[in-house]
Amino acid sequence: MPAADPEDQRRARDFERSLREDVLAGRAHRATLDWFEAQTKRVRRSLWLIVETAKHDKAVLEQRTAAQPSPQQDGIRAPRSTHQLLPSHVAPDSLASRQLQTRQRDCSECPQCDKDQD
């Protein structure tokens, strides 16, 4: 099994590192990195599985890269660090906003606050 081969795992880590560096430098398209990150952990940890999966997904990946402009084509700035390459699926902090609204509502119902406003 490829995932149990330590040499294959090391090459997979090297591949991921070089892919991130290439995207930062503008030599590879962001869609390629997105494709890689969408793979299962089992695939990402084996270079052999990465190559086999890429063979099957090559046409889809080429369509995605053709549909999205590259950083050099449209003058889009490339990210400056690998932190900027991380997915940005961060949910808003709704708990904090709800707590703030609750405090404001509670304060407006308070008899002391009503006296201060008069």
The pTM assigned to this predicted structure is: 0.52
Q: Does the pLDDT value for residue 85 go beyond 60?
A: no
69 pLDDT more than 80: no
DSSP string, 19-71: HHHHHHHTSS-HHHHHHHHHS-HHHHT-HHHHHHHHHHHHHHHHHHHHHSPPH
pLDDT digits (tens, 9 = 90+) for 33-67: 998 999 999 999 999 999 999 888 887 777 777 77
3-class state of residue 1 by DSSP: coil
pLDDT at 90: 47
Residue 25 pLDDT level (bands cut at 50, 70, 90): very high
Percent of the chain whose pLDDT exceeds 90: 32
HSE of 12, CA atoms in CB hemisphere, 13 A = 23
Contact by Cβ (8 Å): 33, 79: no
